[in-house]
Homo-oligomer: A and B are copies of this chain.
Amino acid sequence: MAFKTLEWKKGKLVLLDQTRLPLKEVYVECLTYQEVAQAIKNMVVRGAPAIGVAAAFGMLLGARESNARTPATFRREMDKVSQTLLATRPTAVNLLWAVERMKRVAEENMGKGMLVVGKKLQEEALRLLEEDVQTNRELGRQGQILIPDGCSILTHCNAGALATAGYGTALGVIRAAFEAGKRIHVFIDETRPFLQGSRLTAWELMKDGIPCTLIADNMAGALMAQGKIQLTIVGADRIVANGDVANKIGTYSLARLCHVHRIPFYVAAPTSTIDLSIKRGEAIPIEQRSPAELTSFNGRRITPEGMRVLNPAFDVTPHRYVTAIITEKGIIQKFFRTGLKKICFPPSYFSPSREEGWEGRRRR
């Protein structure tokens, strides 16, 4: 990668400012957890896995700022930090997942003094970052078998290196297919209103020399009808127990259009995006963003004054329109409920005795 989406450098979180791409490659430094929260809210950093990692560093910065002398005070302070971070964007579950992981590490080391806690938190945040890149590479390696040679692929939003700590989820699969020597062509939905497609995905793919063509969101259906798209692959912000997928607004329409055109619709996401605590997609909180994203452009108004706007950032795609979910631990097709559970709680998760118990119960 010729760029780093996020990097920990001398006690600061350095973020590639995604609101300025592709015209300017500007890096922003966050010195406090509030700055991290603001960067997530303003989409300086975005994409479910990337905001998870950013939030982990936000927790670390929050802990470093603390002057707490007792575990109880520290716990209260960290609760405040985590609430601030969680309040930024409600849909991506990776945020919650990363914050919880950091909290657990803090809790486990609470008895060992503040210095140890700080060190352990830094280790954990760096591990999360490193893990995310590895996860994406593995996800890409597994997923690329679904990409036939010579095919045209549609992608929506940006599920690339910019949406993760590196390599990407949906774009990770595309990258892996390209690296495997497959001749592919990517159609990029521009993805209104934030233009993650025309600004970010276009930038990434052009940098890597992967052949690509930009289209407006409303062109996808017509291209499918003309047989110009052989498969669609997107990322996810949250995948719930039954396989329903929350992802960037417009994903649902694409999934339905793929369905009626008999085009495979793949979702690529790390297991950290899976949320088994929610049974069905309807219960996923959907973030509503500012009307300004639709009413103005580069700070200049484009609509009549007083325009009423609906601007949900995400939609939910029911699992029956998802051909397969690609994770770093394997590909799930059909029977998502069982598949997702297996991937999140593999047999090794259970202790031998517990497994035996299971087996025993089954045999009886």
Contacts and interface: CB of A to CB of B under 8 A. Distances in A.
A217 B218 contact: yes
Contacts of A303: 22, 198-199, 202, 214
Contact of A310 (B217, B219, B260): B219
A198 B294 CA distance: 8
A193 B216 contact: yes
B298 A198 contact: no
Nearest to A194: B216
Contact of A222 (B213, B220, B304, B312): B312
Interface string A245-266: 0000110110011011000000
A206 B303 CA distance: 10
Interface string A170-205: 000000000000000001011111010011001100
A222 B206 contact: no
Copies of this chain, how many? 2
A84 interface: no
Contact of A252 (B217, B222, B250): B222
Contacts of A115: none
Interface in A265-306: 294-295, 297-298, 300-304, 306
A216 B257 contact: no
How many chain A residues sit at the interface, stated as a range, is 35 or more
Please indicate which of the listed interface residues A191, A219, A259, A315 has the most CB atoms of chain B within 10 Å of its own CB. A219
A159 to B, nearest CB: 15
Given A218-B189, A310-B219, A253 B257 contact: yes
Nearest to A22: B304
A339 interface: no
A215 interface: yes
Given A199-B303, A303-B22, A304-B22, A218 B249 contact: yes
Please indicate which of the listed interface residues A187, A250, A311 has the most CB atoms of chain B within 10 Å of its own CB. A250
A307 interface: yes
A225 interface: yes
A221 B304 contact: no
A212 interface: yes
